[in-house]
A and B are shown apart, each in its own frame.
Chain A
Amino acid sequence: MAIPRASRVRLIWWLELGLGLELYACAVLALHARGLRATPLLAAPALVIPALVIPALVIPPVFYLLVGLVSLRPFSLRQVLGAAVAMCGFHALLVAATGALYTIPDLLDFGSAVAFALWGSPAVTLLQLTAAPLVFARLRPLLSSPRPARRAQARATPPRRRAEVPGGAAARARDAAWSLPPREPAATMPSVPPLQRVLAVSSSAVAHGVQPVVASPLVLQPVVTPPAPPTPPTRALVRSETGEPMIRISFGRIADQLPVEMFARGREGLHATLRHGVSLLVPRRLLLPYLGEALAPVKWEVVADQFPRDELALSHEEIAGRLPHRSLLLPLDEVVPQIPAELLALSTPAANVYGLEEFPPPFQPHVPPPSETPAVDTRAPAEPAAIALAEPEPPPVSEPREEPEPPAEPEASAEPEGLAEPEPLAEPELFVEPLAPAEPTLPGEEEPSQPERGAEALADRGRTAEARRIIALLAPLMNGLEIGERDGAGTTLVTVVAPTLSEDSVVRTAARVVPFLADARLSDPVAQATLTGAEATIVLTPFGSPGAGGALLVTAVRSRASLAWLERLSRSAAGEARVPAENGGHSSPVGDPAEEMELRATSVPQSVRELAGSLTAFGPVAPTVLRDTAGSLRACLFLPRSLEAMPLAQFARDLYAALEEAEIGQVSSVILRVGAHRLVVRAMDGVPGRAAMLVGGGPIDRPGLARIELDRAATRLGALVRG
């Protein structure tokens, strides 16, 4: 059976005490054996003369009094006197024990030996003066604890509300460690724990039925109050003995901030301490400076004395060290109701709102009947707000459209600029192809399809609606980017292009990549492709499968800055608008089938193996070197074991070939998100021809590092090939 923690603690204390006394005895005997005696033992009877006895009786108490004055905090005369008396008692015991020790080797009578032990040797006396305070310091918690029988008796004692008027109560509470608790009357209500001690309660608080604050030298015990209905927070004024206003906090509200290991009885002790009704007192003046910051911190030192010492397994210093900023955070909902309203009143003048009456309230709520209220789908807006404002009424399809207003014009200066675009964004000039005006219903609320419309028409209309949704999502974020809708490679391209770029170039380049997005040589359709060219960076994000007639979000910016943010933004937008019916199947491989067999794997040089080891951001990758039948290097791959090299090499070769002479300039890299993998196709630096480097990996936690490693690898690989 495991020994309770409190018993272990006490056992250790007693062992330490015994060891200390043993050391004392050894020291005394050692001094005696080495002859460090001031006076021969035969002269001991002379010690009893008053002139010599008086210093022996006066100096230790004075010394202990000084020790008490210096060491006991907070200062209390009663505590100091008590400590001095206790240490004098220990001193007397030590003298008696020392005399007993002397009787053995010198065969003295006990009286002479005690007289000698009292003042016969300065070294021994010094030992006693040192040992007594040390022993007392260690025994102090035990002395402050009641005996088990008393504790049992106390627990069996009926509750008794005791409130004391201000003055002296707090001091007595601090003295709790020095004095034994008052004996309680016999038990009449065994099930209810007793009230041990009241810290401080004002008479007004008692009059208002406020629970008094309780502290016990043994354990924090609850104050039992008759059950009462919940009352609104009261500003009960609690004062300390000096009349200082105090804030009362339920102990249970701050208990979770205390380390459990600080309690001698562990969680058991914590639970016992957490009984309902136990409170702490904190001076109000300490909290006021922080209330403006919506904080109520209190240093541990302020409330430390309100915790029963025998329940603590750690020193106050240790406990304070384990608290954030050595403080407890008091709950504001308990503190604030106890703060007088006058202390919270603001004296600053009200802001001048003169002139408001000139303007009638601009907005009058109109609460339509429930059927009239439009549903707000906050996650699926149907249209850019600018369009809705500029063109509230969509023109009939059959009628020629009037001159469309540039919808972004009114908002351009008020909206924040694009997050991913660091360069200054110009005002959009014209839409390449302005979208249809807003439809009054959201996609989910569209009218039922007409029977005569075919499935293809339905898909087209849904796709257009989804494209509008994407634009709506991106429009306020990418102020200054041109938004349009184009067809490219049989796929609808929803384009968001920086005005400094040619949209035609972007679309044509994107169209080169579209056939590769669902290539069968990839394990999954491409979720996103990022092309970095000499003039632009393009992010392609399919929503729906391009091969199945889905659409593609094409975002193009000039700078690579915040590219990751732009990619994420595009994925979010496309994810919002994803067409669920189109799950993205594979299409046939793109490229010249005649060339598919020309690649063959060759031995990997040691330098390339070392290069593979340098690509740490991609996880473990294995190098593969592929050459054509003529022996020319065509591809160098660094792929995880889970990916097959040959089909990916052919895919990379074809993609790389498709992007030759791209409209946005030479494409230096293509990053593909394929399932959980990220594939990077890029050229080797300074290597002419169609040699490509392909690097793949799983989820990349450090894209910046990955890019740096890629650049280095491309440079080194190019140097190796050229060499």
Chain B
Amino acid sequence: MTNKMRVLVLGATGYVGRHIVQALAATDWAEPIAASRRGAVALDATDTTALVPALRQADAIVNAMASSPQDMIANAQALRAALAGTPMRLVHLSSMAAYGNVEGPIDEDQPLLGDLGPYSAAKAQAEHILRDCAQAVMLRPGCIYGRGSPQWSTRIARLLRAHRIGDLGAAGDGCSNLVHVDDVAQAVLAALLRPQAGGQAYNLSMAQAPTWNEYFIAYARALGATPVSRIGARQLRLETKALAPALKVAEIAGRKIGLARHLPPPIPPSLLRLWQQDIRLTSAKAQRELGLQWTSWPDALRRD
């Protein structure tokens, strides 16, 4: 059908990208063009000259590219250059990390401090670069979980099964800002369809998100990784100060011989900091303007 919206998805083989492509393909109005460095449509999304012809084949673009901080910035610059003068809808997957080291309820008007390390800084800078694109919609998801989410489902499940995390006490009091990957995909669809979303930013995090402790305890129970362990401050120090650097070294070495994914996941200090950081994304705007309904997390834990 010729009247379908052709949507170029950058980072289409990534975890979020794959779900976006699937969700687009399941509609009767969109036709995804799945692009990635090594995907069906091979494309270097940090290269303007490669992006320009690809954009000519598309009506809209979803930027779900996840990569190193340098590449994320290069990607944003290339995208801005390629889109110059083209009022094409761009849905950009930013992150809660763009807000940086802030606590309390955070709405979309908060400045993007990006002061939580290189990833956080790159996320903030990428948004800053892409803000000039007339039809850009910024989606700022919290922690994306759901079937096979490497960061917030499979890694957490491995750590819970190994009883390396569980009830973390004061170290797990932060709000998780979890958002199900299906809800992120729905947000992308809505952002593509709704004209008034242009130029807007939206936090994506379920309403009344659990604390990390609540999430870990419920998840461990769903996995049968019981009884849930209380992890003391001493053990967490050992994880971040001794085990994490060692595992990181092993991971780099292991990657060369293809064993990296068999290694236990490290708990770096940044992760521990996140679990304590009581940032609470307010996502009423996404509910209101994108018509989102949040997947119930206890249901998702039972189902996924």
Is A bound to B?
A: no
Which A residues fall within an 8 A CB radius of B? Answer: none
Which B residues fall within an 8 A CB radius of A? Answer: none
